[in-house]
Structure 1
Amino acid sequence: MKTTLKQLAAGAVAALSIGLMAAPALAADTIRIGSFLSVTGPASFLGDPELKTLELYIDKLNEDGGLLGKQVELVHYDDVGDAAKARTFANRLLRQDRVDIIVGGSTTGATMAAVPLIEQAGVPFISLAGAETITTPVKKWVFKTPQSDRQAARRVLIDMKERGLTKIGLISGTGGFGASGRNVTKEIAGDMGVEIVADETYNPKDTDMTSQLTRIRGTEGVQAILNFDFGQGPAIVTRNYDQLGIDLPFYQSHGVASDSFLELAGDAANGLRLPASALLVADKLPESDPQYQVLNRYKNDYEGHYDESVSTFGAYAYDGLQLAIRAIKQAGSTDKAKVRDALESIDGYVGVTGTYRLSADDHMGLDAESFRILEVKDGDWALTE
């Protein structure tokens, strides 16, 4: 492949030192896109498809002549889901590799650990993580591609209200993503006419959540349950939910929008709903859908190249890369301030995740309607509307 990968596993710093010494010389000849992703470790279901997407499309870009007449180089590190490592690698990308832009950050924790360094260095950064805190309040150099957890919560609560469900039980992980999702759900529920009558949490390493679910089920008036988290926790909650025979509508967040979740949860997932991009049902959309072409092109490219199912997490990387390419083209250079300003002016880019309308006040550029509500039917994703 034509991209240059600098993946750093634990204990491999010395092996990379020679390659890193050459970075300043290479920088003048290539456009350098930096990335730190959770390719291995507990969040690998996020980082693995993200890296594969970046590799695939940077190769395609170079085969088509590159960008601004230069080849594009991917400089990548694997943070294994560790925020401290993410900070270290972000620092290396900024100071040693001297990248032109960063597209990365699989998790909220990794992203937020890197943000202060990136803001200080003044390098455009497009995060692939979901928490609202990444771009709210607006940070000068930080953008992101996934919808926010607030939008996900809003989309779920709208669907609940439409089904006449106004009293819910909330269960969430205590990690960065789950805690942020819990907080925003609690903030907006009242204004949307939904009452949270039970509120339970679990730790990322917990292997059984039946006690929390039992308490929710026993709460007077509860009509539905929402689990806000990502990783293996939601699959465990789903299986426990099924084992307990709970007969209430069940929702998950966008943090589990991939086929890997269906594999982990098995038949227990049937009937649950969640907000997600239309990618998971791309082949079921009408051709008149504004996203039909980009969704199916990405799906066919990825699955044809890697022989594995596409995921919404890889799509975040696709959109992040496309936004970076558009901004650099519009800026006509890799001047960081010009690229940042160009990112802020992108209005109407139809991506895999949604249609982006960025501005000085909005560094994410999507609305809650970019989510589709999906339901698991017979072990597969289906549109509910």
Structure 2
Amino acid sequence: MAALVVAGVNQAIAAEPIKVGAVLSLTGGAAPLGEPEAQTLQMMVDETNKAGGLLGRRVALIQFDDGSDPGKANGFVKRLIEDEKVDMLIGGTTTGATMAMYSLVERAEIPFISLGGARVIVDPVKKWLFKVSHDDRMASERALQDMAGRGYKSIALLADTTGYGQSSRKETLAVAGKYGVSIIADETFNVKDTDVTAQLAKIKNNPAVQALFVSSFGQGPIVVAKGMAQLGMTLPHYEGHGSASQEYLNLTGAASEGVRMPSPAVIVAQVLPDSDPQKALSAEYAKAFEARFKTPPSTFGAYARDAWLLWVNAVTRAGSTDKAKVRDALENTKDFPDTSGIVTMSPQDHLGIDSSGLKMVQIKNGGWTLAK
């Protein structure tokens, strides 16, 4: 598979380009996440080059599609490091892809910003690896807090077998008791399964279950929503932050009506109060994305936007593309606003945000709204 090189729009910028490598999931089960990430990175490259580049140099994006297969991600990052000699890496649409790539990244000593969701990406801290999205523990806690507030004390957990799904399951089991919630049904499925009605039937037939929490992403939550509709399940349905995409709405239709989930601000930016620190920049990104691609934005594209701007900020502060200097600058990011929160990193924290930027959203009439 050939690499896609996005050269940007201003060819007049002098000097050798700065090379950014990206491995994303443009096909396969994680494509609903990877496609808006790739579109956003293309948009950010063009905006950066149109504004004069970075440190007076054009920026080039070299991008590969891992097909939602972590094994392929490992091979592509090897090519980006050894053949393309990139200065920076963004990607790993999924946790599995991120973790599969990291050993090569660490050996090559290249700054790497992951778009994956699981806590394991940055806990324990890994020297060259950073992350932009809220982690699965934060998402689980936000969902559990909402469940408890609505009186759901006995719930079912349905997790896929990916790195993210199992990490989210682990984190949910670990923190449920903090909110007085008990997991009384615990089911799993393969993210490539096209039918999960067997697992859903078990949950449906347990009269003590008050709500369902799904730990998955991409195609997995779509299959679950359709399975619930097929079985006529009316159980309150929660998703993690891996489902906050337009694709989820498009492919589930009426089956996802009423679903609640934690999400960053982008998909509900227009209805946030003006005082919300994420409103203005989230709305700005959403407007630019929709104008260019003629489709509503997703949180996953916003993660790519945040990763890009964190890197640009680090390079600018470092005054160099030297990999060690950029890594240090990333680690010393302070009070940097993005669509998920206000980022302050440290040697002990390569995420740098808390859960305050997560909103509880609900699907109503086929669209996103703030949950009440």
Q: What TM bracket, shorter-length normalisation?
A: over 0.9
Structure 2 distance, partners of 1:125, 1:171, is 31
The Cα shift of 1:172 comes to 1.2
Structure 1 distance, partners of 2:233, 2:27, is 34
1:141 aligns to what?
Answer: 128
Aligned partner (choices 59, 64, 72) of residue 77 of structure 1: 64
1:195 aligns to what?
Answer: 182
Aligned partner (choices 245, 253, 278) of residue 232 of structure 2: 245
1:275 aligns to what?
Answer: 262
Q: 1:340 aligned to 2:327? A: yes
Aligned partner (choices 299, 315, 321) of residue 286 of structure 2: 299
The Cα shift of 1:191 comes to 3.1
> What secondary structure is seen at the aligned counterpart in 2 of 1:326?
helix
Check 1:368–1:343 CA distance in 2 against 1; reply closer, same or farther (3 A cut).
same
The Cα shift of 1:28 comes to 6.8
Q: 1:110 aligned to 2:84? A: no
Structure 2 distance, partners of 1:316, 1:108, is 14
What TM-score do you get using the length of structure 2 for normalisation? 0.94
Contact 2:33 2:245 in 1 (8 A): no
Q: 1:368 aligned to 2:355? A: yes
Q: 1:321 aligned to 2:318? A: no
Structure 2 distance, partners of 1:77, 1:233, is 23
Contact 1:282 1:296 in 2 (8 A): yes
Q: 1:93 aligned to 2:80? A: yes
The Cα shift of 1:288 comes to 2.5
Residues 1-385 of structure 1 aligned to structure 2 (within 5 Å): 6-7=3-4, 29-385=16-372
Structure 2 distance, partners of 1:273, 1:48, is 23
Structure 2 distance, partners of 1:128, 1:347, is 20
Structure 2 distance, partners of 1:82, 1:285, is 37
Which letter does structure 2 place at the counterpart of 1:238? A
Structure 1 distance, partners of 2:27, 2:250, is 18
Structure 2 distance, partners of 1:188, 1:253, is 14
> What secondary structure is seen at the aligned counterpart in 2 of 1:171?
strand
The Cα shift of 1:254 comes to 0.8
Structure 1 distance, partners of 2:164, 2:27, is 18
The Cα shift of 1:324 comes to 0.3
Q: 1:287-327: per-residue Cα shift (whole Å, max 9, x none)?
A: 22212211111111111111112111111100000000000
> What secondary structure is seen at the aligned counterpart in 1 of 2:238?
strand
Q: 1:124-165: per-residue Cα shift (whole Å, max 9, x none)?
A: 000011111111100000001111111111111111111121
> What secondary structure is seen at the aligned counterpart in 1 of 2:48?
helix
2:9 aligns to what?
Answer: none
The Cα shift of 1:56 comes to 0.8
Which letter does structure 2 place at the counterpart of 1:165? Y
> What secondary structure is seen at the aligned counterpart in 1 of 2:130?
strand
Contact 1:131 1:149 in 2 (8 A): yes
1:22 aligns to what?
Answer: none
> What secondary structure is seen at the aligned counterpart in 2 of 1:347?
coil
The Cα shift of 1:84 comes to 1.7
What TM-score do you get using the length of structure 1 for normalisation? 0.91
Structure 1 distance, partners of 2:177, 2:222, is 28
Structure 2 distance, partners of 1:162, 1:242, is 25
How many pairs are equivalent?
363
Structure 1 distance, partners of 2:75, 2:59, is 23
Structure 2 distance, partners of 1:47, 1:214, is 31
> What secondary structure is seen at the aligned counterpart in 2 of 1:111?
helix
Which letter does structure 2 place at the counterpart of 1:249? P
Runs of 4+ more than 4 Å apart: none
Contact 1:7 1:78 in 2 (8 A): no
> What secondary structure is seen at the aligned counterpart in 1 of 2:282?
helix
The Cα shift of 1:220 comes to 4.7
% of aligned pairs identical? 46
The Cα shift of 1:58 comes to 1.0
Which letter does structure 2 place at the counterpart of 1:381? W
Which letter does structure 2 place at the counterpart of 1:279? V
Query: Structure 1: where are the runs of 5+ without partners?
Result: 9-26
